[in-house]
Every structure is written in structure tokens, then in C-alpha cells.
Homo-oligomer: A and B are copies of this chain.
Amino acid sequence: MSLIPALEALLGKTNVLTGPDTARLSRDWMGTYEGAPLAVARPGSTAEVAATVKLAAEHGIPVIPISGNTGLTGATYTEGGLLLSTERLNRIRDIRPSSRLAIVEAGVILSRLHDAAADHDLYFPLWFGARGSAMIGGVLSTNAGGSNVLRYGSTRALCLGLEVVLPDGQILDLMSELHKDNSGYDLKDLFIGAEGTLGIITAAVMKLVPAPRAHATATLAARSLPDALILLNRLQAATGGLVEAFEYMPADYMTRLEKVRPDLGIPFPAHRDCTILVEVAATAPALTTETAQGTLPLTDLLEDTLAALMEEGLILDATLARSSTQRAAMWARREAAAELGAAVKPMIDSDIALPLDKVETFLTRIAPRLDAIAPGAETLTVAHLGDGNLHFSVYPGDPSKDLYDRVITAIEDIVQDLGGSFSAEHGVGLSKLPSMARRKNPVALDLMRKIKRAIDPANLMNPGKVIPPK
């Protein structure tokens, strides 16, 4: 029997999509990658995922896992491979409030986990724009980051246990709830961030944290990037490390915001160079119980710190969110980033990480190089400044491959020189393969190839992604 009827027999006809029915998953949401999968399989359980992977392996057909389809690197693109959608693996198997953990399947949408945790006064602290579509499987496979990494770490840091279907169809049960376990190699972290090239993540044990009882949020215009970092350190010292988000939006961001989303407003029309969105959050009653003056100590801390820095001239202007509506309006500006990015084509995007104190150096050095390569090119910059992660995009007008390569090379040269990474939180997929080949330590690449061969000798798990050919 050929693969498709065999899959239909296994999963039921409605769970094997072919032809035009595959369209919603074969094209990435940015419209950059449009593939032609053999079919989309929608298994409904871990056992069905295992059987699907086995069947595909028997037919020598590659398997490419896909969950929320919100990726940015073409990691789910395939010509002729079998897309394995996790959308029916959508159970929250358990929430254990006293142990502060959630046991979830790969197809659970991130915002559903946020809601489920909130029902128990808990919080799943992974937060980014696509949270309404992104699913746990993809979030783990790309080791997603977002705005809260500064305080809680990337997805990796939030995962206690994992269930994985291996390339040979065996189920690897690492669903530990333990905070300490030194029984052999750390297999879990090998699958997190592997983008489906070593196996398919089907479920996970994720950490939850106490839901913050109060947030204090502000938008401010700093005099400069180094001044913004002084603010970050002062705030961390004053609050004992309660800063949850520290987002940087410079002048190019404001220009594009004004053009594409004028409804959202520009916070400080006279000071556009260094806009920061900052949020602190607390659970301790000492910080979240209203004072006799009717204010929250947490808000007072933020306000006092901002006031002191304004006094010193490091901050030029600032607005504190006085209501949840004002807080939402501040976040809306930051979360428009994807929309702003997609508004102009062609775009050359990057997702780079730098040592915290090197972000300004990067911006200072890249400007003249861009001027030389693509005079007059528009840029769009937005950064999770608290963890050194910069999304820097260039709009050169001209879509030529040569220009693209020269811009990326310029960015990567500086990033490498500053000890940074060309891939901070979006992963490698297809789009960063050339960067992997050019910039990744060859000893590390060689080791990755050995590991890939050892675990997936037939090279059927999302082949051609993450690791460039030798």
C-alpha cells in the first residue's frame, strides 16, 4: 500500500489532507515559503504520531512537524515530505497548581495555556506576539524567546519534561516532574530547539510561576542606549530583579509605526531616538498591597526610579500606565512589530543576539556599512534589550540576491566580531542555513552532524533544516 492510503487507514480520511487542503499549512504565514507537501497527517495521539512516523519511514518519506505555523525561518517548508500537524494533540493533560506545573500536548495553543494557568492564579511566563496561534510543540522545537526571557528564561528554562517520537517511531518518555535529575545525558535539551530534525515533540511538562498580583508599566524616552541600560540596572537593584520586559524601539520603529499604525500613536513625538517599554511585576504582598496613599509600592518604585533618572537627565520623558487600558495601549505599540515588519517588501530581517553592552556598538557600526551597500535603505529596529536580542530589518528597495547577501554579510560580520549570534530566538530553519554554514563554529557543526546521523541515520526528520550540508 502506498503511504497516503496507509495513513488514511491509520488516522481516518479526514485526518490526511492532500492537494488544496494542505494549503493553509504548506505556506508560512509571512508568505515567504510555499511548499508542496505530499500530504498533511493529523494524528490524534502520541501513539498515532509514532505509527505515522513508522509508516513514513517504511516508505522513505521525510516527516516535517508543524504546529501553529507562526515560524519565521521556513522550518516547515517541504517539497514532497509529509507534514505532521500537531493540531489534534491539543489536550492540557493536567495542571498541578501545588507543584506549579502543566502537562500539555504539542498542539496546545500558547494563549490557551496562559488562560488555563490563570484559572489557578498561575502564569506561564512565555509571552510574544503570536501567542494566539503558536503551539507548544513549535515553541519547544524552536526554543522560543519573547519579552519575558529577561526574568524567566527561554522555553528551555521552562520545560521540566518531554515526550518525543523518535525517527524509528519509538516513544521517548522523559515526562519528568523533577527539579533535579542527574541520571545520564540531558536528552531533553537536545530535542528542545532541534526544530524537528531529531524527533517530534508530542507533549511536555512545563513550569508555571505564581501569577503576578500587580504590574507596573511605563514608556519612556531615554537619552541614549547606555542610559537605558543604567535604568535597567537601577530598576533591577531597586526591585530585586522584578523587571519582566525591557523593550527598545528607536527612531526607525517610530517612523514606521506612524506610517502603518497611526491609530496607535507615537509616545514622544519630540524624542524618538530611544523609546523603552518597561514592565515590572510582583507577587509579594509587600509590593502589591495598596498604601495609605492609594498607590502600589511596586508602581511607586518604578515611578521613583524614573523620576530620579529624569532629574539626572538620563530620561527625557516618561509615561506611567495608570490603567489596564493604558498598559494595553503601550504593549500594542510593541506588539505591532510583526505587522510593521511585513508592511514593506522586500525585507531583509535578522534576529541577532549581542552581549548587552554591545547593542549600541552594533547599531553604530552597521549604519555606515548599510549606507555604502544600500544607500537610503529604510531600517526597522526593535529589541528585547534586557537580553540583548535585536530584530534588525533592512528594506533595500531592490530584491536582488546579491544585495541581500551583502546586507546579511555586513550584519553578520559585526555580530560575529562582537561575540554575538546570528540566531537569537527564531531558530535556523531554512533561512539561516547559509549563516550556519558561514558563521557557526565548524567543530560544533561537525558534532551536530554526528548527533543527527546517530539519531536519524536515514535523514527523514525534517531533512535539510538547521544543519547545512558539508
Contact = CB atoms under 8 A, between A and B. Distances in A.
Contact of A388 (B179, B285, B387): B179
A408 to B, nearest CB: 14
A134 interface: no
A180 B193 contact: no
A470 B57 CA distance: 26
B420 A178 contact: yes
Interface centre among A149, A238, A423, A443 (most CB of B within 10 A): A443
Interface size class of A (residues with CB under 8 A): 35 or more
A210 interface: yes
A166 B447 contact: yes
A27 B170 CA distance: 41
Given A240-B287, A441-B174, A444-B187, A427 B182 contact: yes
A466 B177 contact: no
Contacts of A450: 454-455
A451 interface: yes
A130 interface: no
Given A181-B353, A185-B194, 13 more contacts: A98-B233, A143-B182, A145-B180, A172-B441, A178-B355, A180-B353, A180-B424, A183-B432, A184-B193, A186-B192, A190-B451, A240-B282, A451-B451
Interface of A: 98-99, 142-143, 145, 149-150, 154, 156-157, 166, 170-174, 176-187, 189-190, 192-194, 198, 210, 233, 236-242, 282-287, 297, 301, 353-357, 384, 387-389, 419-428, 432, 435-436, 439-441, 443-445, 447-448, 450-451, 453-455, 466-467
